[in-house]
Structure formats: structure tokens, C-alpha cells
Chains A and B, each alone.
Chain A
Amino acid sequence: MSDKSKILYLLLFLGIAVGVFYYRKLNSAFKYLIILLICVLITEVGSKIIPHYGFNKNPLYILFSILHYPIFSYIYYQFLSKKKDFKIHLLVTAFLYYFFVVLNIIYLQPVTIFPSNIILVESVFILSQILYLFYDMLHHPIQKPLTQQGMFWVNSGSLFFYSSTFIIFGFFNYFKKYQFEMNWAYFILWLTNIIMYSCYLIAIIVEGKNKTKEIF
């Protein structure tokens, strides 16, 4: 296991551990964030173990993408639960996303190939949710300082990861086709992953501490 993987697993594990510690005090959105982190950890570990048994790990990534989108969307739905138009946006994008997943598997990238197209489309839809939340936060500020708002940290971390995912996976097939050196891309993905999960960890800590203060 490389050092980079160890750091990633440590961050995921810390996020889950802190989340379990504060679980009762967290609201629904952050409880689902912990579930998301658990899914990520299982996928990451599974993607290391499965090849050892001679199986292809790419179906695991497809399964993860299928599960990841509704969980992530639900978290943002909780952050923006008062918005009717956001609810419609989520329903429409969910329909389009799953329609594309089916089309991609049948016509473009079968289950044995890394689903870069699915990840790309997912990034687009998720970026729209991220930008919508930033827009809503600006138009409806609250009294709490920004750094004490868990959803700011979740949104910022997600912005870093999904915008780099969008660009890298947008050119992924092109780079692979012309056999470009991809280490820099993997490094950026790893770095933005670290930033994202660090932000998620901070978000869980901030929300857990805020609720503790409110109780006392």
C-alpha cells in the first residue's frame, strides 16, 4: 500500500470515527455524509482486494457511482430543503443521470471498462448542486460565522474534487487514446481527494461541536 493510499484511508477512517462519535448530535445531512464516507472506504478497499482474486474492479466503480449520486444529492437536498426548484432540479438530473448510465453501459463503456463517462456526467450534475448551494448561501446569509457552518466545508471540499474530476475525466479517454502520461492527473485527483475528505472531516467536527454548544 502506497503512502498516498494510507493518507487517504486514514482521512476516511478519521471522518467515519469522528462522525460516529458525534452521530446523535448531527442532523440528517451529516449522518448521510458519514454513510457516504463508509461507501467510499468500502469501494477503495474493495478496489484493492478484488484484483487479487482475479476479478475486474471496474463494476465496483460503476456500482459506487450508482449509489453515490443519490446519497450526495440527498445531502444537498437537506442543505437546501426549502427550495422547491432545487427539488425539481434533483429529480430531473437524477433521471438524466441514470438514463445516461444505462446508455453508457450498453453503447459506450461496458461494465469491464473504467466508467470515466459516468464519472464525468456525475461531476457535471454535482457541480451544479455545489454552485446552487454557494448561490443560496450568498443570498440567505445566517448569523453563524462561515467557518462554523458545516455545509460550507462540505461544499468547498466537493468543489475542489468535482471540478478537477470534471476536467480530468473530460479528457481521460483522449489522454488514454494518445497514450499521454497520466501520473500528473492521478496526483491531482489524489490531492483534491485529500482536500475534499479533510473538508468533510472539518465539517463533521464543526457540526458536532456546534450542536454540543447548543445543547449546553
Chain B
Amino acid sequence: MLIFVICGILFLSLLSGFIVYFIVFYRQKQANFLQEKKLAESIYQQELLKALNEIKETTLQYVASELHDNIGQMASVVKMNLMLLPTSNHPNLELSIEMMGNILQEIKTLSKGLKSEFIEEKGWIKALEIDVERINKLGIQIEFNIESEYQNLAADKEIFLYRLCQETLHNILQHAVARNIRINIKESKKEIEIQIEDNGKGFDVNAYLEKDITKKGNGLQSMIKRCKIAGGNYTIESKVGMGTSIQIKLAL
């Protein structure tokens, strides 16, 4: 009888040991599985970002070409026709010719800014300086500071940084109603830090970020997400009536 009891206890212990072993082994397998899943997700996000950037650049190239080739040509023809008119008959003619000249210049500048070859050739800082000059002409004061020597970055990183700044400036012009903008760029060997501040009307950041990202008007959320996938950070500080400060950090 005792032998059977001991055997019974041993048997139940064996079963319990098997269950414990299974739990330990399963946890190891689960940890490996989760790690692989995370890696796969990260690779997927990066590939997706790359694909989206490529589509975006292709679209922008197309728009740049159309601007320069079609609209730019039409604007040139209008300017030439205006120049052929006698100035004495039309008091606002000279002003109109000057404005057409400015329009042509704007089209050329915009077209350059949209083409990625220009950014690759001149560098993202030079491309950004051209945008800054253009915005200055609109009557908005921009202070542009670079704290270290400009270095050659990989072409895709230059385009990425330029587009982020371009989109941010575009948002300020569209929504902020700002009179002053400050851009500070700090470069070290390990990272780039870009600070863009404006004295515009500001907004409720939290309320904005809670919006559905799939709906229209989600540009900021998209930039935050793209920056994160690229291994950087895009942080926004703003209060209604107190302006906005945006910080972009990207590891090199």
C-alpha cells in the first residue's frame, strides 16, 4: 500500500514538473516570438516609409515639372504680352509687369524646392535658405541660425530633413498667422537638432493629436510618425495665443 502511495505521489510530482517545464519553455519561445514580431514590424514600417517617401518625391517631381514647364511658360508669355503694350495707355501696366516677373521668380523658386535633385545638388541647408528668402519677401521676419559647420549627409536624410522643415514652414504660413519665425539648426557628430519657433496664434496640441490620423488635416501627426519611424523625434509645444515651438531631432 505504501509503495502505491509513494508511486502516486511521484507520478503527480512528475506531472507537475512537466507542467512547470512547459511553462518555462513556453515563456522563452514567447519572448523570442515577440522579439521577431517587433523586428518584422520595424522593418515593415521602415519599408513603408521608404515607399511613401518615394511616391511623394515622384509626385513632387511631377508637380515641379508642370509648374516650370506649363504654368511658368504661360506666365512668361503673359509677361511678354504685357511688355508689348504701350505703357502710356495703362497706368498699372508697369506694376503688372513687375508682378508677373515676381510670379515667374516664385514659380522658379517653388519648382526648385519641389525637385529632390536640387536638394541633393545644393544640400538641404541651401534649399532651406532659399525658402527662408522667399518667406521673407512675404513680409514675415525669419531668423535663421546654424550653430555648426554644415556636413554632407546621405541624400535621403537631406531630403527627409528638408521636407520636414518645408512642411513645418508651410503649416506656419497657412495656420499660425505669425509675423516672426526663428529657425535654429544644431549639428553634432551624433545628431541634428532643428528648432522652429513662431509668434503665431498657437493651438491646443493635445486636442489636435487626438484627432483620427486617417482623416484630413493630420499633417502634424503624419510628420511625428514619419520622424519616429526614421529614428528621430518631432515634438511640439504650443498654447493658444502663445505661439508654437517645434523641435526635430534625428540621429546621424
* A interface list, Cβ under 8 A from B: 134, 137-139, 141-143, 146, 156, 159-160, 163-164, 167, 181, 184-185, 187-188, 191-192
Contacts and interface: CB of A to CB of B under 8 A. Distances in A.
Contacts of A188: 8, 11-12
Q: For the complex, would chain A's binding face be called helix, strand, loop or mixed by DSSP majority? A: helix
Contacts of A185: 4
Contact of B11 (A138, A143, A167): A167
B30 to A, nearest CB: 4
A184 B27 CA distance: 36
15 contacts: A134-B22, A138-B29, A139-B29, A141-B26, A141-B29, A146-B26, A146-B27, A146-B30, A159-B15, A163-B11, A164-B11, A167-B11, A188-B8, A188-B11, A188-B12
Interface residues of B, number: 19
Contact of A184 (B8, B19, B26): B8
Contacts of A134: 22
A58 B27 CA distance: 44
Contacts of B26: 137-138, 141, 146
B5 interface: yes
A139 B26 CA distance: 9
Interface of B: 1, 4-5, 8, 11-12, 15, 18-19, 22-23, 25-27, 29-30, 33-34, 37
Give chain B's interface secondary structure class. Answer: helix
A190 B241 CA distance: 75
A163 B25 contact: no
A181 B1 contact: yes
A9 B33 CA distance: 41
Contacts of B4: 184-185
Given A159-B15, A160-B15, A184-B5, A138 B25 contact: yes
A142 B31 CA distance: 10
Contacts of A159: 15, 18-19
A141 B30 contact: yes
Contacts of B34: 143
A146 B25 contact: no
Contact of A146 (B1, B18, B23): B23
Nearest to B1: A181
Which A-B residue pairs are the 5 nearest by beta carbons?
A141-B30, A141-B29, A141-B33, A184-B4, A188-B8
Contacts of A164: 11-12
Contacts of A160: 12, 15
Given A141-B30, A187-B8, 4 more contacts: A159-B19, A160-B12, A163-B15, A181-B1
Contacts of B12: 160, 164, 188, 191-192
Contacts of B5: 184
Q: Which of A141, A156, A159, A163 has the most CB of B within 10 A?
A: A141
